[in-house]
């Protein structure tokens, strides 16, 4: 069947290809009814091309469609071969000066914070780089797709609208020229024809709803072929869809994933092809399976012809888009065609049809036509306007469709509003001509129908569906914002009229919010259900900017402002109607004043936080003052209608509610109220909530008698009685009073005083005080920074943003703060300038309570440090604007004085009353404010004016009868010496001092006497100084103590993660100190030459090594026969040094690791934190961990940061991740050394002897398996002193032996990834390998950091290498002797061939250092049977020399010496001559294959450089093996390192001497090495080999500008799903591969599990460990194995020294080289896994992340 179909298809294809586009076009040109002709053509061919089988074949379809369908259209359009026609058009075209590039998902976009009219104006990367904004403050984001570059749009930019590229186009084009003029007339006609037909065809077929019929087309063949089409929705998850499909259409999971991915991307996909019944059956299964919980998936059975025509319809739209790209004229014609009204009148144009059908189209179709709109209608200035009008007229309908649609807004035509409304001229036009503002607001109100009886919004019991709809309807607020974002510079009467009409609608909206969600205090029982509050606040939050913008608009025109004010006032009065009705007013009287007010108690009646109408009025009132309208046109304002008590009533209730909540009176109302109060004050809402309530109080009070206001306030706070009735306060002191009630009252009094402070003190808004916007923002910043130094982003978060997302902070920050750059961790911080501290106001109204107390503490501390008194007096304030000037009188009003006096009296008679220190503190602050006020009045006194502010006089007067209380001043003097008020003394003293200053000021201006005696104060202050000094010292001592205590407890706690560096440092200090005490590491040795190995090895006296167990704290000496001590260690596979990342071990069970390839593709690294334990203590600890973990896993199935089943645990002291332990051993070599009594043989002799020994061993072994072969035994002459039967007694204690096996097995298990098997002969090989590899990594790190070889390793590494080397040297004692002997023989055979070992790697394929270590460490297995008197050291030395020689040959053979380039010195030293001779000698052996080199200088230089790493590694190795201290010369960097190394290693400085000294064997060896076939084929260029010195591996180079990476990633598409954009492009920092992470498409199977692209990549690239950069998130990802991972801060910082994880802030990011180096170092040091473990320990949520799917 399938084959048949295939054949049939091919036959059709062939016939189709015979079609001639030209001929068809000619036919069309002659046709009378073109539409009919074209339709017939399409009806016949489209079904033959599209939808020929179950799966689409896009390439074939495209090819055929171009040939048969589009080709003729192009011919027709051009009237000639389009291959000539289109280029001609393009040339003739005067290109637009608009860029209009449509953004791909993830593409970087740029906006200029200085010049963009609003944040939606963006540039593409190319335009940005060519624009002036590069040098400005810009913001970078990644596009979510859709939207286009605004380059060239003069309305979008205040400056620099063109980039260099698009600027060129502007000069030529006359603005208003009709682009049609550029086209020949006949072409214009043809274009109209063909565009009209094709566009209509596409629109008709896409909006077609019948299933068995086509619009205007005949069904040519009505076959029974259908598709079962699955559509996308936003309800079902990927998993649900995949699962359902597998069941319904019987496909594999992979196919199902494919279907689901396409459905998600394109919006639909056919999942079955066949006859109707077959498809219908699948449909019903899918519907049945998905209809249980939610609404079912949308599935439709469609005839294949319809699907075919729809596919082509989309293709046509794309084609139209590309054709109009050739010419602006064609574009205009298409716009005209699209907007032409059809026969059905209104809404019958093709564009209207598409728009109105939008929500019924699938995603893919929407994308295609939206793109066409963007490249046509929105690119043509004339038609953009016409389109905008169509869009505005359909606005209501489009929004309603969008509400019902479930697709995200980015897939809806409604989303185009951002492209239209943000163009200022269009927005203005739409407001005046289409009444857009009103339309938007009305549409919004229509969709929010839930109201209570008073007509207010009600969200109380709204359903999930309503919540969903509410979320969608919020986008309308966004539209309103776009419309308002650019403010008019000129007002026409029309605009005024339409704006005010919109304002009316807006007031209607706010009226529905005024008083919504009212609360009533719950008494007795706690509320049963938390009431819904979020919806109302969301609404408020979203509207905040709109409300602010409305005010901004009003501020621009006096007429508008006056009208708006009147309208708003009317609505406020409507809202308040009936507020004085009903009950009788009550009369309040105090201090001879009395006032009438209503009876109302916040704690008993309904109260609401939502008062947007009142708050808008408050805002407008301030504008009256700011714009001076209030002073210019008072007669036009309804000021006389204002009733101050009415104005303040609701805001005051709201503030009292906050106070009562704080006093704990509303506890039973639950969290919803607490949350509301929180948001009321929060930076996101406060500007149009809390702040405006304060303004409203200021407004009301400025028009009232302050005494009246204070009495009303007392009454609302329910405190009236306390202050109006003498001695009423005493009631609360009595024992019988409820403590809670006392507390409650105290808090209320404090809150009320705070409110007074705010009303009088908050004058930093322009219009209230005489300040400008800069002063306001400065003050905010000063107060934020008074709490502590802050990072840029923290400050931004603490400040309100305007509609352009600006806080205005940058303009003032330099004036108030200094910037401190970040270090390697942390971020840059702003610190308050010291001179700004005097502006600090403890009662700053935007402080939260926590912030206030933190700021207080910080400021007092600062003052103490500066040796000042600790008073925090109120700062001097700017004067009020005239409209608010009377507010200061509150301070000197009678009722205020009474309140202050009462509280002071409570403090004086402190035992008799309930009062609090906070209360007193606030009174003192108020007194301070009043004094500051008076002082300023006096200082600014002009000649003629009279001082009306006489606070000092009032507080000097004693109280009147009947109670005759002392004056406030007198009470202050009393309190000054009160012992219970120590903390406030400084403040009281400040008040008294200021009082005196004022007195003096008054004296100088008038003649009022001074009452105070100066001397008193002077004396006082000197006494205080002493006291202060003592206090300061005590404080310093306390701080130091605290610091130490803190450090100690930090050690014990999980402090590591926050202060890693400090912690590590401390640990290292600890380490040094313990080692220093117990073990004298570097015995002082005379200046004699130090030699690390060989018979001449420097003898070092043994030192006792005593160590302490971290678990039991017992000390023990490290000895051969005592209990084992162990170090916690972590073994891991590593590819850090790899030169070939693609190599993987195919079958670990059979792999032979004996020889390490020089590409070092996979090594085994061992690390340790250096913490020592008894082996048995560790065992017990580990068993406990294991048991605990098992219990835990049974219960919770949780992951931990370590994998116990794999032997992992955390070091009990430092929590460092470990998976085994290394035993501590004394230097081992000495144990096996015997007396060296004989003459030590030279290399040749030694090789001869060893070869004999080896031969003997082989013979003996053969004999073992083949006994009776005594003939050969006779041939065997055992070398002198060789006793092959001898068995050495193992010198180690049982416990040490056990640990040797434990660590050996662990190395084997991890290194090879196999099951542990202690008997396996490969165990010792792995141990030697790990020793060699670890030394190599450390040598590389030191070399890269340019550090000397010795003396700079941290103790933990030093300890680790010592133990590791000694362990590796001792491990043979627990392995099979014959196996180790066998290894030695094979290893040696690679250099000294024998007949037994064939097929060994050639010397080019052996890493010589690994070979050296293995040889030296396996050698004792043979040597222990040698009693000839040759020392072990001799053997070591000869082995070392032999390997060194081989390495020299290796280097010379692979050297890529270039003779040119380098200046060569003309020396011809001995070394150069010798190396040249050696090279020539090599040439002889290799024939002519070796490149000819004649410069000894170059060769020697090359050899030295090539062999250095090997020598350095060897020096480390022998140092740790034999314990000979390193000569001081190689502990520092300096010249002659080479010579010193050679000397330490017992090598001649002239390395080639090794060959001369051993000339007898030279020929044999070199011959055997060079005659190898592999070597030959290398020299003939047939294969590759590693050359030396190997370069260190680094992480990849990253670009300085982060947007380069974003751009790179946006061009990256998923490698598996043909050209799709990857959602989470992720860059491997090790090899530079870009991966498609965290997505179904790129999951692969690894060891039987599905893993994401990153995890899969780590297995080849990093042996399971990976370092990635998630480009979209700007986040580094560490992965280890399948279950472990963590995120790490990226090495990119903005100018403020902060990272931007998640790219939310959009500040330009640049590479911080130091931080990147730090990451690289983590990698090189193999600390990634450890880093992950620490991160996971610190943050348990990391453990739960599904790392393997990334």
Kindly list the distances between the CA atom of residue 128 and the CA atoms of 24, 96, 420, 1600, 1671, in Å, as whole numbers in the listed order. 46, 18, 22, 17, 20
Q: Which of 25, 70, 124, 1172 binds Zn ion (CB under 5 A)?
A: 124
Pairing of strands 1665-1670, 1649-1651: unpaired
Residue 115 interacts with Zn ion (CB under 5 A): yes or no: yes
Q: Closer to Zn ion at the Cβ: 702 or 1639?
A: 1639
Q: Any long-range contacts for 975-982 (C-beta under 8 Å, 24+ apart)?
A: 975/904, 975/907, 975/908, 978/907, 978/908, 978/910, 980/910, 981/907, 981/917, 981/920
1435, 1438, 1441, 1442: CA torsion to nearest 10: -100
Residue ranges in 1170-1209 that form contacts with Zn ion under rule CB under 5 A:
1171, 1174, 1177
1624 is a site residue for Zn ion (CB under 5 A)? no
Per-residue contact string for residues 1586-1615; x = within reach of Zn ion by CB under 5 A: ----------------------------x-
- Of the candidate residues 768, 836, 1214, 1693, the single one contacting Zn ion (CB under 5 A): 1214
Helix/strand/coil for 54: coil
Minimum CB distance to Zn ion, residue 367 (Å): 20
What are the CA-CA distances from residue 713 to residues 482, 598, 645, 692, 1352 (Å)? 41, 12, 10, 17, 72
1169 binds Zn ion (CB under 5 A): yes
Instruction: Provide the minimum distance between the beta carbon of 1024 and Zn ion in the complex, in angstroms, as a whole number.
Output: 52
User: Which residue's CB is nearer to Zn ion, number 127 or number 968?
Assistant: 127
Smallest gap from Cβ 1124 to Zn ion, in A, equals 11
DSSP characters for 544-595? HHHHHHHHHHHHT-HHHHHHHHHHHHHHHHHHHTTSS-SSPPEEEEETTEEE
Say if CB 778 and CB 890 are below 8 A apart: no
Give the one residue of 94, 104, 136, 820 binding Zn ion; rule: CB under 5 A: 136
Q: Which stretch binds Zn ion (CB under 5 A): 229-237, 363-371, 1164-1172, 1278-1286?
A: 1164-1172
Q: Are 1685 and 1750 in contact (CB under 8 A)?
A: yes
User: Toward Zn ion, which CB reaches closer, 535 or 809?
Assistant: 809
Give the residue with the Cβ less far from Zn ion, 554 or 1680.
Answer: 1680
Q: Please report whether residue 125 would count as binding Zn ion according to CB under 5 A.
A: no
1631 lies in the binding site for Zn ion (CB under 5 A): yes
State how far the Cα of 1573 lies from the Cα of 54, in Å rounded to an integer: 56
Binding segment (CB under 5 A) for Zn ion, from list 44-52, 122-130, 1117-1125, 1716-1724: 122-130
Name the residue among 563, 511, 915, 968 with its Cα closest to residue 731.
Answer: 915
> At its nearest, how many Å lie between Zn ion and the CB of residue 1173?
6
Nearer Cβ to Zn ion (629/1110): 1110
Q: What sign has the CA pseudo-torsion 1544, 1546, 1548, 1551?
A: negative
Q: Which is nearer to Zn ion, 324 or 1614 (CB)?
A: 1614
What is the distance between the alpha carbons of residues 1590 and 1588, in angstroms, rounded to a whole number? 5
- Shortest CB 122 distance to Zn ion, Å: 9
Window 692-721: residues binding Zn ion (CB under 5 A): none
Q: Which stretch binds Zn ion (CB under 5 A): 1466-1474, 1496-1504, 1517-1525, 1630-1638?
A: 1630-1638
Name the segment binding Zn ion (CB under 5 A); options: 136-144, 276-284, 720-728, 1370-1378.
136-144
Choose, by CB under 5 A, the member of 1037, 1077, 1112, 1144 that binds Zn ion.
Answer: 1112
Stretch of residues binding Zn ion (CB under 5 A), selected from 148-156, 520-528, 574-582, 1192-1200: 148-156
Contact yes or no for 292/342 (Cβ under 8 A):
no
1630 belongs to the binding site for Zn ion (CB under 5 A): yes
Please state the φ and ψ torsions of residue 139, each to the nearest 5 degrees. -130, 140
| Assigned token pair, 656 | 């009292």
The backbone torsions φ and ψ at residue 1032, rounded to the nearest 5 degrees and listed phi first, read -65, -45
Shortest Cβ 604–Zn ion spacing (Å): 57
Residue 41 in contact with Zn ion, rule: CB under 5 A: no
Residue closer to Zn ion by CB (options 211, 1114) is 1114
Regarding 1636 and contact with Zn ion (CB under 5 A), the answer is: yes
Residue number, 140 or 505, with CB nearest to Zn ion: 140
Range list of β-strands (E), 973-1100: none
State the binding string over 1250-1279 for Zn ion (x if CB under 5 A, else -). ------------------------------
Scanning residues 149 to 208, which ones bind Zn ion (CB under 5 A)? 149, 151, 163, 166
Q: Which residue reads 């400085």 in tokens?
A: 1549
**Residue in 1109, 1250, 1413, 1667 binding Zn ion, rule: CB under 5 A:** 1109
Least separation in angstroms between CB 1546 and Zn ion: 37
Asked whether 602 and 653 are in contact (CB, 8 A), the reply is yes
Assess 337 for contact with Zn ion (CB under 5 A): no
Q: Using DSSP, how many helices (H) and how many strands (E) does the chain show?
A: 66, 26
Query: Is the CB of 1212 or the CB of 1311 nearer to Zn ion?
Result: 1212
Return the DSSP state at 805: S
Q: Which stretch binds Zn ion (CB under 5 A): 473-481, 1000-1008, 1476-1484, 1642-1650?
A: 1642-1650
**Cα–Cα distance measured from residue 553 to residue 564, given in angstroms and rounded to the nearest whole number:** 10
Q: Is residue 66 exposed (0-12), middle (13-18) or buried (19+ Cβ within 10 Å)?
A: middle
Supply the minimum distance, in Å, between the C-beta of residue 1610 and Zn ion. Answer: 14
Chain positions 1023 to 1082 lying near Zn ion, rule: CB under 5 A, are none
Q: Which stretch binds Zn ion (CB under 5 A): 144-152, 499-507, 982-990, 1201-1209?
A: 144-152
**Strand residue runs (E) in 816-944:** 817-820, 829-832
Q: How far is 1669 from 1689, CA to CA, in rounded Å?
A: 10
Q: Beta partners for 1680?
A: 1665, 1684
Any contact of residue 1734 with Zn ion (CB under 5 A)? no
Taking the least distance from each CB to Zn ion, the nearer of 152 and 338 is 152
Closer residue to Zn ion (CB): 127 or 365? 127
Q: Taking CB under 5 A as the criterion, which residues in 1646-1665 touch Zn ion?
A: 1661
- Which residue from 64, 73, 102, 112 is in contact with Zn ion, where contact means CB under 5 A? 112
For residue 984, give both structure tokens. Answer: 């406030």
The 10 Å Cβ neighbour count of residue 595 is 20
Among 440, 1216, 1404, 1671, binds Zn ion (CB under 5 A): 1216
Based on the shown chain and the rule CB under 5 A, indicate whether residue 1129 belongs to the binding site for Zn ion: no
Identify which of residues 78 and 1631 has a Cβ nearer to Zn ion in the complex.
1631
Smallest gap from residue 1459 Cβ to Zn ion (A) = 36
DSSP state of 1651: E
Q: Which residues, other chains included, contact 941 with Cβ-Cβ below 8 Å and sequence gap of 6+? A: 947, 1005
Closer to Zn ion by CB, 1482 or 1641: give it.
1641
Alpha carbons within 13 A on the beta-carbon side of 1235: 2
- Shortest Cβ 1680–Zn ion spacing (Å): 14
Q: Residue 754: how many CA atoms within 13 Å on its side-chain side?
A: 23
**Is position 99 an interface residue for Zn ion (rule: CB under 5 A)?**
yes
Q: Which is nearer to Zn ion, 948 or 1113 (CB)?
A: 1113
Q: Residue 718 region, left (φ>0) first, then alpha (ψ -120 to 50), else beta?
A: left
Contact residues for Zn ion (CB under 5 A)? 99, 101, 112, 114-115, 124, 127, 133, 136, 149, 151, 163, 166, 1109, 1111-1112, 1169, 1171, 1174, 1177, 1211, 1213-1214, 1216, 1614, 1616, 1628, 1630-1631, 1633, 1636, 1639, 1641-1642, 1661
């Amino acid at each position: 069947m399938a084959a048949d179909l295939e054949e049939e298809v091919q036959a059709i294809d062939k016939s189709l290809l015979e079609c001639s586009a030209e001929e068809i076009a000619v036919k069309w040109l002659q046709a009378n009814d073109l539409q009919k002709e074209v339709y017939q053509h399409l009806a016949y061919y489209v079904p033959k091309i599209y939808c020929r089988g179950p799966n689409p074949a896009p390439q074939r379809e495209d090819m055929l469609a171009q040939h048969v369908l589009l080709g003729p259209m192009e011919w027709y359009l051009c009237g000639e071969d389009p291959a000539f026609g289109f280029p001609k058009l393009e040339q003739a075209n005067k290109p637009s000066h608009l860029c209009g590039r449509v953004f791909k998902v993830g593409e970087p976009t740029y906006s200029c914070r200085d010049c963009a009219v609003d944040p939606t104006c963006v540039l593409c990367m190319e335009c940005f780089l060519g624009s002036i904004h590069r040098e400005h403050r810009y913001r970078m984001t990644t596009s979510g797709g859709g939207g286009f570059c605004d380059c060239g749009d003069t309305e979008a930019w205040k400056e620099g609208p063109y980039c260099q590229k698009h600027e060129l186009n502007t000069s030529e084009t006359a603005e208003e020229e009709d682009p049609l003029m550029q086209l020949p007339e006949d072409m214009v006609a043809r274009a109209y024809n063909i565009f009209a037909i094709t566009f209509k065809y596409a629109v008709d077929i896409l909006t077609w709803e019948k299933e068995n019929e086509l619009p205007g087309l005949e069904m040519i063949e009505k076959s029974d072929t259908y598709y079962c089409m699955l559509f996308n929705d936003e309800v079902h998850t990927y998993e649900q869809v995949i699962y359902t499909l597998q069941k319904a259409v019987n496909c594999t999971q992979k196919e199902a994933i494919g279907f689901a991915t396409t459905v998600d991307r394109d919006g639909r996909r056919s999942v079955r092809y066949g006859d109707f019944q077959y498809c219908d059956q699948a449909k019903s299964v899918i519907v049945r399976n998905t209809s249980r919980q939610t609404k079912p998936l949308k599935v439709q059975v469609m005839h294949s012809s319809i699907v075919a025509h729809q596919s082509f319809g989309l293709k046509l739209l794309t084609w139209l888009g590309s054709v109009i790209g050739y010419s602006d004229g064609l574009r205009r014609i298409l716009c005209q065609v699209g907007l032409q009204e059809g026969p059905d009148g209104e809404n019958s144009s093709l564009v209207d049809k598409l728009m109105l059908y939008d929500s019924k189209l699938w995603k893919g179709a929407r994308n295609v036509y939206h793109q066409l709109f963007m490249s046509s209608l929105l690119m043509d200035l004339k038609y953009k306007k016409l389109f905008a009008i169509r869009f505005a007229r359909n606005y209501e309908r489009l929004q309603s469709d969008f509400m019902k649609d479930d697709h995200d807004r980015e897939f809806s035509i409604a989303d185009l509003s951002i492209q239209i409304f943000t163009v200022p001229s269009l927005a203005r036009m739409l407001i005046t001509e289409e009444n857009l503002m009103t339309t938007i607001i009305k549409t919004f109100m229509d969709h929010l129908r839930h109201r209570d009886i008073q007509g207010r919004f009600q969200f109380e019991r709204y359903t999930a569906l309503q919540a969903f709809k509410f979320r969608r309807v919020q986008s309308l607020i966004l539209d309103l914002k776009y419309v308002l974002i650019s403010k008019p510079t000129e007002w026409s009467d029309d605009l005024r009229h339409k704006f005010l009409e919109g304002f009316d609608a807006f007031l209607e909206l706010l009226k529905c919010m005024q008083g919504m969600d009212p609360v009533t205090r719950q008494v007795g029982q706690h509320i049963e259900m938390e009431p819904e509050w979020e919806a109302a606040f969301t609404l408020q939050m979203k509207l905040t900017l709109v409300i602010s913008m409305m005010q901004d608009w009003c501020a621009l025109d006096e007429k508008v402002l006056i009208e708006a004010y009147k309208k708003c006032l009317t609505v406020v009065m409507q809202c308040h109607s009936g507020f004085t009705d009903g009950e009788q007013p009550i009369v309040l009287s105090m201090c001879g004043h009395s006032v009438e007010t209503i009876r109302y108690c916040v704690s008993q009646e309904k109260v609401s936080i939502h008062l947007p109408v009142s708050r808008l009025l408050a805002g407008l009132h301030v504008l009256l003052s700011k714009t001076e309208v209030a002073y210019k046109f008072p007669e036009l304002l309804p000021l006389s209608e204002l009733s101050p008590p009415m104005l303040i009533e609701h805001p005051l209730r709201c503030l009292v509610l906050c106070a009562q909540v704080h006093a704990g009176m509303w506890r039973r109302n639950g969290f919803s109220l607490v949350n509301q109060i929180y948001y009321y004050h929060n930076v996101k809402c406060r500007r149009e909530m809390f702040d405006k309530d304060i303004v409203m109080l200021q407004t009301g009070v400025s028009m009232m008698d302050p005494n009246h206001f204070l009495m009303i306030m007392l009454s609302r706070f329910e405190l009236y009685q306390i202050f109006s009735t003498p001695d009423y306060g005493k009631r609360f002191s009595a024992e019988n009073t409820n403590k809670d009630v006392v507390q409650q009252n105290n808090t209320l009094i404090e809150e009320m005083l705070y409110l007074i402070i705010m009303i009088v003190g908050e004058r930093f808004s322009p219009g209230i005080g005489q300040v400008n916007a800069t002063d306001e923002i400065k003050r905010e910043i000063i107060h934020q920074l008074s709490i502590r130094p802050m990072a840029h982003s923290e400050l931004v978060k603490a400040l309100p943003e305007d509609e352009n997302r600006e806080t205005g902070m940058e303009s003032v920050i330099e004036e108030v703060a200094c910037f401190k750059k970040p270090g390697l961790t942390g971020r840059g911080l702003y610190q308050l300038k010291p001179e700004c501290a005097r502006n600090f106001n403890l009662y700053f109204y935007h402080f939260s309570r926590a912030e206030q107390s933190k700021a207080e503490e910080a400021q007092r501390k600062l003052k103490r440090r500066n040796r000042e008194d600790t008073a925090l007096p109120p700062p001097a304030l700017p004067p009020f604007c005239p409209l608010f000037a009377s507010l200061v009188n509150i301070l000197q009003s009678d009722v205020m004085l009474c309140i202050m006096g009462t509280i002071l009296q409570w403090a004086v008679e402190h035992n008799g009353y309930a009062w609090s220190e906070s209360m007193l503190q606030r009174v003192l602050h108020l007194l301070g404010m009043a004094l500051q006020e008076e002082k300023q009045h006096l200082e600014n006194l002009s000649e003629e004016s009279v001082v009306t502010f006489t606070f000092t006089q009032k507080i000097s007067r004693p109280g009147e009868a009947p109670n005759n209380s002392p004056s406030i001043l007198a009470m202050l003097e009393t309190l000054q010496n009160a012992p219970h008020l120590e903390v406030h003394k400084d403040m009281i003293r400040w008040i008294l001092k200021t009082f005196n200053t004022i007195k003096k000021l008054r004296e100088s201006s008038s003649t009022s006497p001074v009452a105070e005696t100066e001397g008193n104060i002077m004396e006082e202050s000197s006494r205080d100084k002493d006291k202060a000094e003592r206090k300061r010292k005590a404080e310093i001592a306390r701080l130091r103590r605290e610091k130490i205590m803190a450090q100690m407890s930090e050690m014990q706690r999980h402090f590591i993660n926050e202060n890693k560096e400090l912690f590590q440092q401390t640990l290292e200090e600890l380490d040094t100190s313990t080692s220093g005490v117990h073990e004298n590491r570097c015995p002082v040795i005379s200046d004699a030459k130090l030699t690390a190995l060989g018979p001449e090895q420097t003898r070092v006296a043994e030192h006792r090594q005593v160590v302490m167990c971290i678990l039991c704290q017992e000390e023990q000496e490290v000895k051969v026969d005592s209990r084992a001590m162990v170090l916690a260690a972590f073994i891991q596979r590593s590819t850090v040094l790899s030169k070939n990342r693609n190599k993987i071990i195919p079958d670990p069970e059979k792999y032979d690791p004996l020889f390490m390839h020089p590409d070092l593709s996979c090594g085994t690294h061992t690390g340790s934190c250096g913490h020592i334990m008894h082996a048995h203590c560790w065992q017990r600890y580990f068993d406990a961990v294991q048991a605990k973990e098992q219990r835990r896993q049974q219960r919770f199935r949780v992951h931990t940061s370590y994998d116990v089943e794999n032997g992992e645990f955390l070091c009990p002291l430092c929590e460092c991740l470990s998976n085994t332990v290394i035993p501590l051993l004394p230097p081992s070599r000495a144990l096996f050394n015997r007396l060296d009594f004989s003459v030590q043989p030279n290399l040749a002799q030694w090789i001869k002897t060893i070869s004999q020994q080896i031969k003997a061993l082989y013979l003996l072994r053969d004999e073992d398996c083949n006994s009776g072969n005594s003939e050969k035994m006779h041939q065997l002459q055992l070398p002198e002193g060789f006793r092959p039967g001898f068995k050495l007694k193992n010198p180690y204690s049982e416990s040490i032996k056990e640990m040797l096996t434990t660590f050996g097995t662990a190395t084997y298990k991890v290194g090879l990834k196999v099951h542990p098997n202690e008997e396996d002969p490969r165990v010792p090989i792995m141990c030697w390998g790990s020793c060699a590899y670890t030394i190599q990594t450390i040598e590389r790190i030191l070399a890269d950091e340019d550090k000397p070889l010795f003396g700079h390793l941290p103790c933990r590494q030093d300890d680790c290498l010592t133990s590791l080397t000694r362990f590796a040297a001792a491990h043979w004692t627990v392995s099979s002797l014959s196996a180790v002997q066998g290894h030695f023989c094979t290893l040696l055979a690679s250099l000294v061939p024998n007949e037994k070992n064939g097929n060994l790697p050639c010397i080019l394929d052996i890493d010589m250092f690994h070979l050296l270590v293995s040889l030296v460490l396996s050698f004792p297995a043979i040597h222990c049977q040698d009693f000839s008197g040759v020392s072990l050291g001799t053997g070591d030395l000869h082995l070392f020399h032999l390997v060194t020689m081989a390495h020299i040959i290796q280097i010379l053979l692979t050297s890529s010496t270039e003779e040119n380039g380098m200046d060569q010195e003309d020396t011809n030293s001995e070394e150069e001559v010798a190396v040249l001779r050696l090279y020539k000698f090599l040439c002889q052996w290799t024939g002519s294959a070796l490149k000819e080199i004649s410069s000894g200088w170059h060769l020697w230089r090359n050899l030295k450089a090539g062999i250095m790493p090997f020598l350095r590694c060897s020096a480390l190795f022998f140092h740790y093996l034999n314990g000979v201290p390193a000569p001081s010369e190689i502990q520092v960097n300096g010249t002659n390192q080479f010579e010193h190394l050679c000397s330490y290693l017992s090598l001649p400085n002239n390395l080639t001497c090794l060959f001369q000294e051993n000339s007898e064997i030279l020929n044999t060896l070199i011959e055997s090495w060079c005659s190898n076939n592999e070597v030959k084929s290398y020299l003939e260029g047939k294969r590759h080999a590693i050359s030396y010195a190997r370069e260190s591996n680094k992480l990849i180079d990253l670009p300085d500008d982060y947007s380069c990476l974003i751009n790179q990633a946006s061009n990256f598409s998923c490698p598996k799903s043909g050209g799709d954009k990857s959602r989470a492009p992720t860059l491997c920092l090790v090899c530079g591969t870009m991966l498609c992470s965290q997505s179904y498409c790129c999951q692969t199977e690894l060891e039987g599990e599905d893993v994401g692209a990153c995890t899969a990549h780590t297995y080849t690239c990093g042996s399971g460990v990976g370092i990635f950069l998630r480009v979209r998130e700007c986040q580094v990802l560490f992965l280890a194995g399948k279950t472990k991972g963590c995120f790490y801060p990226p090495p990119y910082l903005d100018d403020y020294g902060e990272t931007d994880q998640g790219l939310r802030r959009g500040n330009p990011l640049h590479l911080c080289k130091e931080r990147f180096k730090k990451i690289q170092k983590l990698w090189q040091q193999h600390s990634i896994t450890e880093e992950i473990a620490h991160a996971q320990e610190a943050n348990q949520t990391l453990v739960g992340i599904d790392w393997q799917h990334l």
